[in-house]
Amino acid sequence: MNLLKEAKFQLSQINKLNGYLNAFVNLYKKSYIFEKLDESYKRYSQGQLLSPLDGRLVAIKDNICTKDSYTTCSSYILKEAGAIIVGKTNLDEFAIGTSTINDLFGPTLNPMDLKVPRSSGGSSGGSAAAVSADISLGTDTGGSVRHPASYCNCFGFKPSYGLISRWGVVTYSNSFDTVGILGKTVERIRETFNILNVYDPKDPTSLSINERLKIKQYDKNKQITIGIPLDFNISKVSQNLRDIWKKAIKHLELKGFNTKIRHHQI
The pLDDT tens digits of the residues spanning 251-264 come to 999 998 999 877 65
Pairing assessment for the beta strands 84-89 and 24-27 based on DSSP bridges: antiparallel
Where does the pLDDT of residue 71 fall: very low under 50, low under 70, confident under 90, or very high at 90 and above? very low
Where does the pLDDT of residue 95 fall: very low under 50, low under 70, confident under 90, or very high at 90 and above? confident
Q: Strand, coil or helix: what is 41?
A: helix
Q: Are 22 and 101 in contact (CB under 8 A)?
A: no
Domain spans of the chain, in order of start: 3-208, 225-262
pLDDT of residue 219: 65
Contacts of 1 (CB under 8 A, 6+ apart): 44
- Exposed/middle/buried for 151, CB within 10 Å: 0-12, 13-18, 19+? buried
Query: Considering 36, 40, 61, 206, which one is annotated as catalytic?
Result: 61
User: In angstroms, rounded to a whole number, what is the distance separating the alpha carbons of residues 83 and 61?
Assistant: 15
Query: Considering 123, 127, 136, 165, which one is annotated as catalytic?
Result: 123
Pairing assessment for the beta strands 57-61 and 135-140 based on DSSP bridges: parallel
3-state percent breakdown (helix, strand, coil) of the chain, nearest 5: 35, 20, 45
Query: Considering 40, 132, 136, 144, which one is annotated as catalytic?
Result: 144
| Chain mean pLDDT for the chain | 86
pLDDT one-digit tens code per residue, 161-176: 999 999 888 888 888 9
Phi first, then psi: what are they for 242, rounded to 5°?
A: -65, -40
Mean pLDDT, residues 120-126 taken together: 89
Q: Which residues pair with 58 in a beta bridge?
A: 85, 135
- Exposed/middle/buried for 79, CB within 10 Å: 0-12, 13-18, 19+? middle
Q: Is 123 a catalytic residue?
A: yes
Q: Are 109 and 117 in contact (CB under 8 A)?
A: yes
Task: Select 3-208's CATH number: 3.30.870.10, 3.40.430.10, 3.90.1300.10, 3.40.190.10.
Answer: 3.90.1300.10
Percent of the chain with pLDDT over 70: 93
